């Protein structure tokens, strides 16, 4: 139907130019109704004839073949169209669904602009438009919008219908294993006893042990399998038994259907239009909070647990998660410790904590090991500033643009290799699957009366099935190449960032929190291990590559204040004949000082001896107290009293009486007593 206003737009100068009929093979309409497309194409040709173009000036351009119907051209059809219109040789462009194209395809939008400049008309099945006229341009745009809106409405209507049925509990959806639809579409427990048992077991073990991992472990240690009813395909409804995985346990525990509740709207998804407007995908947006489910009907069907139990389970799972969360990296905090939250212990694998000495910015990384509750002994503790510096060095080096370009390129190779390996596995599994299907069909087709054959075929089928499962297991256990697939743009962005990284890093305006954030972009975690020779640092990058570093042990605080070698030598000499107290006195007389410049005391003299392993005189006699024995091995009165468990007065009496080998310095000075095991034995004898 052509209105007079449409035809009036066609003027003689249009008819003198070409009529280009552009056939776009991939329009939605043609996909929907492919057989009709050729017919519609000829309709357009007929339309051009009707509108007054002589057949000699009608040219058909087929985009797919890139050639026109009249003359062979080696250019892309659309390009040719644009060029012809741009040169002003075209009177009108004929195409199907121009309005939609104009709205959703930028190429077409540009073409319309060129049409407006060259006074070229645009014709589709419904009308004739002059893009130079404001109203027509508006109409083209508006019609395009309408068709978009129509699609939207169509979807809303569909979805709305779904919701209505769901509110009545009548919308059917795929049920989890353990529940099935009966003949009257009611949800009932799976009639297979074994299936029921397996599902019940999950709930019982969780009830008892309180964690999903414990359920997995229970199934694994007892070599139990979990059922899956195949959904869709030619084996729909068939039962397979697989190993129970953690994610599966979680999905069972989270699923309210097992509690007899009919629920709709637990997951959200959104339809997205891709750059090509004809392609749409449904993107999963993840779980919806329990309170926001669209429909919840309790006690709608028989379940495995009660609604109360279900809620209790959710609470427990939530608690478990917050517990786990502590184990995760946690948010960055504003301290100087660069590795806060990402340092792992190289001895036990636990996450390391950070602390700062009072009034100091120097961090210490420490691990409390297994005994978090009984923090009596640390697994290890390392001063952090040297480690932080080494990690920053590695980071900035790794981010050198040249290095980065190479590593990004190698990333591509890794991805490619991972893809190839993956493909091979897929093929292997596919082949095994095919063979198993074949065996199954053979088994089903054999006459049941022919028991012998049936039995051997069944065995064969079982073997094939096992092979499939074995392969799938192996494949699942394979370490995944987790290298992230980064797009070329992303790589460009990383390269650009790399140029600026050192400057950003060192800028005084950059906060510690931002530095940590930068680090975490690139580094997954850092493992620290205090070894005898050095501190070992292993940086695991986000790509899973590992850089290993070693740094010398950080000097402890006291190392800088260590007693000089000369003092140690003097103590070594004196220790042969002098007690620690005497050593201290002599050192002070000689104006020697401790590492921090203070005079010696008995205790500091003892520490010098002890930390330098300076031997004491009389090794066969046990030392009661460190200060009680002097360098030549003689003991003080007090030490002997303690050793023999007598009073000091008694010891002094024995010394005076000559029962002990004692020397006295000065008339009133202390006794220094020599002890041997024989003397001790003699003294311990009851006095006769
Ligand atoms: Zn540890």
Q: Classify residue 575 by burial, with Cβ atoms within 10 Å: 0-12, 13-18, 19+.
A: buried
The rounded Å distance from CA 153 to ligand 1 centre is 60
Cβ within 8 Å of residue 225, ≥6 positions away = 198, 219, 241, 242, 243, 244
| pLDDT score, position 241 | 87
Q: Are strands 353-356 and 363-367 parallel, antiparallel or unpaired?
A: antiparallel
- 19 - beta bridge partners? 58, 92
Q: Are strands 363-367 and 380-383 parallel, antiparallel or unpaired?
A: antiparallel
| pLDDT score, position 398 | 78
Please tell me the distance from the alpha carbon of residue 494 to that of residue 403, in angstroms, as a whole number: 12
The rounded Å distance from CA 130 to ligand 1 centre is 77
User: What are the CA-CA distances from residue 129 to residues 97, 197, 644 (Å)?
Assistant: 12, 70, 120
| pLDDT score, position 54 | 92
pLDDT digits (tens, 9 = 90+) for 291-300: 777 788 888 8
33: left (phi over 0), alpha (psi -120 to 50) or beta: beta
The rounded Å distance from CA 116 to ligand 1 centre is 74
| pLDDT score, position 189 | 92
The rounded Å distance from CA 395 to ligand 1 centre is 25
Please tell me the distance from the alpha carbon of residue 523 to that of residue 518, in angstroms, as a whole number: 9
The rounded Å distance from CA 381 to ligand 1 centre is 9
Enumerate long-range contacts of 138-146, CB under 8 Å, 24 or more apart.
139/99, 140/98, 140/99, 140/102, 140/103, 140/112, 141/102, 141/103, 143/99, 143/100, 143/103, 144/99, 144/100, 144/101, 144/102, 144/103, 144/104, 145/103
The rounded Å distance from CA 480 to ligand 1 centre is 27
Please report, to the nearest 10 degrees, the dihedral formed by the alpha carbons of residues 68, 71, 72, 77 taken in order. -30
| pLDDT score, position 304 | 94
Reading the block at residue 258, the tokens are 């097992």
Query: CB 581: neighbour CB atoms within 10 A?
Result: 18
Reading the block at residue 228, the tokens are 């899956």
> Of 470, 489, 499, 514, which Cα lies nearest the Cα of 332?
514
The rounded Å distance from CA 528 to ligand 1 centre is 9
The rounded Å distance from CA 355 to ligand 1 centre is 15
| pLDDT score, position 622 | 40
Reading the block at residue 460, the tokens are 């064969």
Please report, to the nearest 10 degrees, the dihedral formed by the alpha carbons of residues 125, 130, 134, 140 taken in order. 20
| CA angle in degrees (0–180, nearest 5) for 543-545-550 | 135
Reading the block at residue 131, the tokens are 């893009």
Residues lower than pLDDT 50 in the chain: 1-4, 26-36, 64-75, 273-277, 279, 322-327, 372-375, 481-485, 618-625, 688
The rounded Å distance from CA 336 to ligand 1 centre is 22
The rounded Å distance from CA 349 to ligand 1 centre is 6
DSSP string, 172-222: --PPPTTEEE-TTS-EEE-S-HHHHHHHHHHHHHHHHH--HHHHHHHHHHT
| pLDDT score, position 243 | 87
pLDDT digits (tens, 9 = 90+) for 379-415: 888 888 889 999 998 888 877 766 666 666 656 666 6
Q: What is the DSSP letter of 351?
A: B
The rounded Å distance from CA 366 to ligand 1 centre is 8
Please give the positions annotated as active site: 26
| pLDDT score, position 346 | 85
């Amino acid at each position: 139907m052509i209105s007079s206003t449409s035809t009036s737009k066609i003027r003689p100068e249009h008819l003198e130019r070409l009529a280009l009929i552009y056939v776009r093979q991939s329009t939605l309409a043609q996909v929907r109704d492919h057989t009709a497309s050729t017919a519609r194409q000829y309709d357009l040709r007929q339309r051009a004839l009707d509108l007054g173009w002589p057949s000699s000036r009608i040219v058909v351009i087929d985009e797919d073949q890139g050639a026109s119907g009249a003359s062979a051209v080696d250019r892309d059809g659309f390009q040719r169209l644009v060029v012809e219109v741009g040169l002003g040789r075209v009177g009108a462009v004929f195409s199907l669904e121009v309005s939609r194209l104009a709205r959703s395809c930028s190429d077409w939008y540009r073409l319309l602009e060129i049409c407006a400049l060259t006074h070229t008309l645009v014709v589709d099945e419904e009308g004739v438009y002059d893009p130079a006229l404001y109203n027509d341009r508006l109409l083209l745009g508006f019609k395009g919008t309408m068709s978009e809106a129509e699609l939207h409405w169509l979807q809303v209507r569909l979805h709305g219908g779904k919701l209505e049925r769901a509110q009545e509990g009548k919308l059917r959806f795929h049920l989890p294993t353990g529940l099935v639809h009966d003949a009257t579409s009611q949800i009932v427990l799976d009639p297979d006893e074994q299936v029921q048992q397996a599902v019940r077991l999950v709930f019982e073990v969780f009830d008892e042990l309180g964690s999903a991992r414990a359920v997995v472990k229970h199934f694994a240690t007892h070599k139990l399998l979990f059922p899956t009813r195949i959904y869709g395909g030619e084996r729909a409804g068939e039962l397979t038994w697989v190993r129970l995985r953690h994610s599966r346990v979680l999905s069972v525990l989270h699923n309210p259907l097992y509690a007899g509740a009919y629920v709709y709207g637990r997951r959200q998804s959104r339809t997205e239009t891709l750059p090509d407007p004809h392609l749409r995908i449904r993107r999963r947006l993840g779980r919806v909070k329990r309170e926001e489910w669209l429909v919840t009907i309790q006690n709608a069907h028989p379940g495995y647990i009660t609604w109360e139990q279900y809620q209790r389970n959710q609470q427990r799972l939530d608690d478990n998660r917050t517990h786990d969360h502590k184990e995760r990296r946690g948010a960055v905090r504003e301290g100087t410790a660069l590795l806060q939250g990402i340092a792992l212990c190289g001895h036990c694998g636990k996450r390391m904590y950070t602390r700062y000495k009072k009034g100091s910015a120097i961090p210490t990384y420490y691990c409390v090991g297994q005994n978090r509750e009984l923090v009596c002994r640390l697994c290890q503790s390392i001063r952090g500033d040297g480690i932080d510096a080494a990690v920053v060095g590695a980071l900035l080096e790794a981010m050198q643009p040249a290095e980065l370009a190479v590593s990004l390129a190698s990333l591509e190779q890794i991805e490619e290799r991972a893809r190839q390996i993956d493909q091979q596995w897929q093929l292997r599994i596919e082949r095994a699957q095919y063979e198993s299907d074949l065996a199954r069909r053979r088994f089903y087709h054999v006459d049941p009366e022919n028991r012998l054959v049936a039995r051997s075929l069944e065995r064969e089928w079982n073997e094939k099935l096992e092979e499939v499962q074995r392969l799938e297991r192996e494949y699942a256990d394979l370490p995944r190449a987790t290298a992230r697939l980064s797009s070329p743009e992303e790589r460009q962005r990383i390269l650009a960032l790399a140029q600026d990284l050192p400057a950003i890093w060192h800028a005084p305006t950059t906060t510690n929190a931002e530095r940590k954030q930068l680090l975490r972009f690139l580094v997954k975690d850092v493992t620290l291990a205090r070894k005898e020779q050095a501190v070992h640092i292993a940086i695991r990058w986000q790509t899973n590559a590992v850089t290993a570093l070693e740094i010398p042990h950080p000097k402890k605080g006291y190392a800088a204040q260590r007693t000089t070698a000369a003092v140690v030598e003097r103590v070594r000499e004196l220790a042969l004949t002098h007690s620690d107290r005497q050593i201290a006195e002599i050192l002070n007389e000689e104006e020697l000082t401790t590492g921090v410049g203070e005079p010696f005391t008995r205790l500091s003299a003892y520490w010098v001896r002890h930390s330098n392993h300076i031997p004491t005189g009389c090794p066969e006699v046990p030392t009661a107290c460190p200060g009680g024995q002097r360098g030549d091995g003689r003991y003080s009165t007090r030490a002997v009293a303690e050793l023999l468990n007598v009073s000091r007065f008694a010891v002094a009496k024995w010394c005076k009486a000559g029962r002990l080998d004692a020397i006295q310095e000065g008339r009133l000075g202390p006794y220094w007593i020599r002890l041997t095991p024989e003397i001790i034995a003699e003294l311990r004898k009851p006095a006769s």
